[in-house]
Amino acid sequence: MDSKDAEIVQRQLGRPPRGLRGVAHRCPCGNPDVVETAPRLPDGSPFPTLFYLTCPKAASAIGTLEGSGLMREMQARLATDPDLAAAYRAAHDDYVARRDKAAEESGVAPLPRDMQSTGGMPERVKCLHALVAHELAVPGANPIGREALDALPEWWSDGPCA
């Protein structure tokens, strides 16, 4: 990751980012909005969020969605829609495989295979921020992330966040 992107991410987060591996997605404004992080921090502690949403405008818009009750509706659909549940399980498997590859590339031990991946996957809808980040980083990978992304306003339309 170049120093300009790292500086933007630091401004977005309001703190120095940890475990940065690179930009996983750029906002239409051109700034990073999702970064890829190492599965373990330099001290060896686990950091299971491989794709981390950094844009505060996107995060705020997603927070509004979370507060609307959308996650409860999505969670209920996982229990009644076997196709959605299977696609969400596949999203979890994709996330874990990518996290394991990042661990290998970073020269660190992978996280335990039975560890939840992110956002509640594979059985819960817990954090739309993480699920949207996965969908932005890997388009078509996360059906719940896609639904949430489609429900968001154009957070970038009034200019960049940093």
Dump pLDDT digits (tens) for 1-17.
799 999 999 999 999 99
Q: Assess whether pLDDT exceeds 90 at residue 115.
A: no
Q: Assess whether pLDDT exceeds 80 at residue 117.
A: yes
Residue 146, pLDDT score: 98
Contact at 8 Å (CB) between 32 and 5? yes
Least confident piece of the model among 29-33, 73-77, 156-160: 156-160
Residue 159, pLDDT score: 87
Structure tokens at 1: 């990751």
Read off the DSSP letter of residue 162: -
What predicted TM-score, i.e. pTM, was given to this entire model?
A: 0.95
Percent of the residues in the chain that have a pLDDT greater than 90, as a whole number? 85
Residue 143, pLDDT score: 98
CA distance 162 to 8: 6
Task: For residue 115, give Cα distances in angstroms to 13, 39, 105.
Answer: 26, 12, 20
For residue 37, give the nearest of 48, 56, 15, 21 by alpha carbon: 21
Provide the mean pLDDT of the chain. 94
Average pLDDT over residues 28-47: 93
Q: Which residue has the higher pLDDT, 134 or 162?
A: 134
For residue 29, give the nearest of 52, 56, 49, 2 by alpha carbon: 56
Identify residue 42 by its one-letter amino acid code.
P
Domain layout of the chain by residue ranges: 3-151
Residue 100, pLDDT score: 95
Residue 13, pLDDT score: 96
Tokens 């409860």: give the residue. 72
